[in-house]
Amino acid sequence: MADQKELRIGFVGGGNMAFAMARGFIKSELVKPENIIISTLSDRGVGKWKEMNCRATKINHEVVKNSEIVFIGVKPHIVRTVMKELQNDFTKDHLVVSIAAGVTLATFESFGVRRMVRVMPSLPCAVQQGASAFSCGSNVTREDAALVHRLMSSVGYVEEVKESLIDVVASISGSGSAFLYLVTEALADGAVKAGLPRPSAMAFAAHTVQGAGAVVNQTGKHPAQLKDETCSAGGSTIVGIHELEKVGVRGAFISAVECATKRAKELGN
């Protein structure tokens, strides 16, 4: 395998997640932009990637033929069509990495791919704050796994997990980002209702969500303990917590993760 900066990486499918990952790889200086090639049918998509100094094409075959590591970033329902198209292009020298939700390693390996990895990234990879999980196929070497780990850790937190758990992680880190965007928006709306100007409300809400996560990670304390430490007796925070508990916010988040996990598995069928 080539030196990290000389790695040739390809993305079959140039959607938001692929763009976020590539942007993160470039920001981390692990990969040169000119060593990244993507395929997309969108003229707008081609332009967006070229603005980042990456190579762009509308032909999937060109991506495989010009890459050592090929990320499959198409929608789950067209994965099989794309893999059938490309199956004769893959060789034993290709490390293939899927970011398609729900599509199993076995599905990819059925198209003759030998070195296969599944990764579930999240959009915050674009700002090197992602949370990703990956699972390896039976023919993946520890060197391959270490390379995937290094690439994904350059854009945030990463863990290797059993494939049976990867859709759960996707529901926390991938879908969970959207859940937290909703929380951020709601916090800001509450502040606007109380009189704070919208730009300030959004800034305070976003920094609050970011800061709360940082405290959990850096202190190692259970969120319940941190919540208790924040709530003073008879104070405003415990009153707010009571309102959230009354409408079942905790249960709603648990259900959201459960439903998102179920749907992720369905997408691969």
- Report yes or no on 2 lying in a domain: no
Q: Are 209 and 243 in a shared domain?
A: yes
Of the residues 161, 180, 206, which one is the last residue of a structural domain? 161
Sequence ranges of the binding site: 40, 60
Q: Are 118 and 54 in a shared domain?
A: yes
pLDDT exceeding 90 applies to what percent of the chain?
Answer: 80
- Report yes or no on 3 lying in a domain: no
Q: Are 157 and 229 in a shared domain?
A: no
Q: Are 75 and 103 in a shared domain?
A: yes
**Is a pLDDT exceeding 70 seen at residue 3?**
no
CB atoms within 10 A of CB 235: 11
CA–CA separation, 17 vs 201, rounded Å?
28
Sequence ranges of the binding site for NADP(+): 40
Of the residues 140, 161, 182, which one is the last residue of a structural domain? 161
Q: pLDDT, tens digit, for every residue of 77-103?
A: 999 999 999 999 999 999 999 999 889
Sequence ranges of the binding site for NADPH: 60
Is-contact 144 117, C-beta < 8 A?
yes
Q: pLDDT, tens digit, for every residue of 228-261?
A: 999 999 999 999 999 999 999 999 999 999 999 9
Q: Are 122 and 218 in a shared domain?
A: no
Of the residues 108, 139, 161, which one is the last residue of a structural domain? 161
What pairs with residue 116 in β-bridges?
96
User: Strand 156-160 relative to strand 115-120: parallel, antiparallel, unpaired?
Assistant: unpaired
Q: Are 144 and 180 in a shared domain?
A: no
CATH number at residue 254: 1.10.3730.10
CATH number at residue 143: 3.40.50.720
Q: Are 156 and 179 in a shared domain?
A: no
| pTM to 2 decimal places | 0.85
